[in-house]
A = this chain, B = another copy of it.
């Protein structure tokens, strides 16, 4: 068990010694840019705050937490000397506050769709604990991850949806939910990451092999209702365990041939598997009704591999032309899970459609690119101080305005976030906001507050928000812009 006192960057332990006395101090977190700086679609799908709050903030400090933390910091300075640790302050948390970390945290609801520079959380610390305002930054910042996965997954849904409108009949549009499948479990760094990232993907799709995330959503967030789905499928080790690929496929059909199942096809020679092996096994498969075979290429050029599979399947299984003029395979599909990212999906979809096949024939399996190859910098997340009420009671707005990188400015003051007429969450200086519900809700206030909302509900909200809102919007209100201009002019 890691002592709670080390769940932060080391330097945070020195900050209570540095901050001047204050009556109140407020910090906030924001994404400073859109996904990979995309100026044509700046929407951000906010998700993942509750996990952090429940797992790490709703944990009381005990005397032994404090002793363990002191023990760690006692040799953490250079030369294994004593690193400053505010022991007395934490002793007061235990003695006078029942061990609850003495801050108030507000944040946007999960499923809100926002634009860069919208505060996603605020932390308020007061009086003797004002120096702890940024202690939790390290953990709270990690909301960058589920939000970035959720945003990427949702952007890909848009991409596939366009192809669905072109090439899939309306009554088959429900298939969109399963067209992006999470292959990312093993490409994660650890189980916790897989659970957090895999959960975020399930906001926009149902397809997942990250079973731990699907179980987490179902049993912890959704009152037992399942959200993730998969199908039985072979891996290379299964294919090569048989004397021949033919035997492996026949066994898979024997076991799972009355439903959907997938076979990986490149263990030895992909072209041979498609052109020689597949036709010889199909006769026995035709005996079963309800069967649906998914062919999985796993190497070579991804577009070519998909097209090869479609053409081979068309020859073996046959196809029908739908009312939009695109071919739909009979009882067969393709899943491409090698080298898949946003750009490859776009390229493959274009190739598939221009070859006359409907987008419904292809599922994309995305691994590291979905759950891992995104970074805190993908949407440039940061937490900064924004407001101080000094020891003498005077209030000051505070911000960072580095001349050397204007993109790294932070917002000054206290904030209110409210939706405008078309639903865009706008940031106002507190006190200058319009009527309407406040989007910054209390997540924690010197102890837990109730955070119960089903995943189904969050999915619905996320879906509706994303579809309703414009791709680009400026969330900073005119009054706040005025304050920023003043702050930038008055650099210290």
Contacts and interface: CB of A to CB of B under 8 A. Distances in A.
Nearest to A245: B492
A236 to B, nearest CB: 5
Contacts of A77: 229-232, 259-260
A87 to B, nearest CB: 15
Interface stretch (A106-114, A155-163, A370-378, A435-443): A370-378
A190 B190 contact: yes
B384 A236 contact: yes
B237 A385 contact: yes
A16 B102 CA distance: 51
A interface SS class: mixed
Contact of A400 (B8, B234, B267): B267
A185 B215 contact: no
A9 B212 CA distance: 8
A298 B382 CA distance: 13
A293 interface: no
Contacts of A134: 235, 237-238
A9 B209 contact: yes
Contacts of A255: 14, 17-18, 84
Given A84-B255, A300-B404, A209 B10 contact: yes
Nearest to A252: B18
Contact of A230 (B76, B209, B245): B76
Contacts of A388: 241
B14 A233 contact: yes
A259 B208 CA distance: 52
A372 B14 CA distance: 26
Given A189-B145, A192-B193, A492-B268, A14 B404 contact: no
A299 interface: yes
A93 interface: no
Copy total for this chain: 2
A385 B240 CA distance: 7
A285 B241 CA distance: 71
A234 B377 CA distance: 22
A451 interface: no
A189 B196 contact: yes
Contact of A236 (B19, B72, B188, B400): B400
Contact of A192 (B192, B234, B241, B243): B192
Contacts of A11: 209, 230, 232-235, 262
A10 B237 CA distance: 15
Interface of A: 2-3, 6-15, 17-20, 22, 25, 27, 56, 68, 72, 75-81, 83-84, 133-134, 137-139, 141-142, 145, 178, 183, 185-193, 195-197, 208-212, 214-216, 218-219, 226, 228-238, 240-245, 247-248, 251-252, 255-256, 259-262, 266-272, 297-300, 305, 367-368, 372-373, 375-377, 383-385, 388, 398-405, 408, 410, 491-492
27 contacts: A9-B183, A9-B185, A9-B186, A13-B211, A77-B260, A80-B226, A80-B229, A81-B259, A142-B186, A145-B188, A145-B189, A187-B377, A189-B193, A189-B372, A192-B193, A193-B193, A240-B400, A241-B385, A241-B388, A244-B492, A245-B492, A267-B402, A268-B492, A269-B403, A269-B492, A270-B402, A368-B376
